[in-house]
Amino acid sequence: MANVEESRFLIRFWGVRGSYPTPGPGTLRHGGNTACVEIQAGEHTLIFDAGSGIIGLGASLMQQLQGSATRYLSLFITHGHGDHLQGFPFFSPLFDPRINLHLFGPQLADQNIEELLVPLMSPPYFPVDVRHLPSQRAFHTIEDTQCIRWLHGESEPTLFPRTPSLSVAQGGETRVIACFTHSHPLNGAIIYRIEHAGHSVVYATDVEWSDGCDPVILDFIAGADVLIHDAQYTTADYQQMKHGFGHSTVTMALDVARSARVKQLILFHHEPTYNDDQLDTMEAEACASFARTRSAYEGMEIDLLA
Q: What is the pLDDT of residue 2?
A: 46
Q: How far apart are CA 46 and CA 194, in angstroms?
A: 9
Residue ranges of the chain whose pLDDT lies below 70:
1-6, 164-171
153 assigned to some structural domain: yes
202 assigned to some structural domain: yes
Q: What is the pLDDT of residue 108?
A: 94
DSSP tag of 13: E
306 assigned to some structural domain: no
What is the domain range of residue 103?
4-301
pLDDT in tens, 77-90: 999 999 999 999 99
Question: pTM for the full model?
Answer: 0.96
Q: How far apart are CA 279 and CA 132, in angstroms?
A: 42
Which of helix, strand or coil describes residue 102?
strand
Instruction: Look at residues 202, 203, 145, 195 and name the one whose alpha carbon lies nearest to residue 170.
Output: 195
185 assigned to some structural domain: yes
Q: How far apart are CA 255 and CA 207, in angstroms?
A: 13
Cβ-contact 182, 188 below 8 angstroms = yes
239 assigned to some structural domain: yes
User: Residue 64 maps to which CATH number?
Assistant: 3.60.15.10
259 assigned to some structural domain: yes
Counted domains in the chain: 1
Cβ-contact 142, 148 below 8 angstroms = yes
Tally of CB atoms within 10 A around 3: 9
Q: What is the pLDDT of residue 213?
A: 95
Which of helix, strand or coil describes residue 33?
coil
pLDDT in tens, 43-76: 999 999 999 999 999 999 999 998 889 999 999 9
35 assigned to some structural domain: yes
Amino acid at 248: S
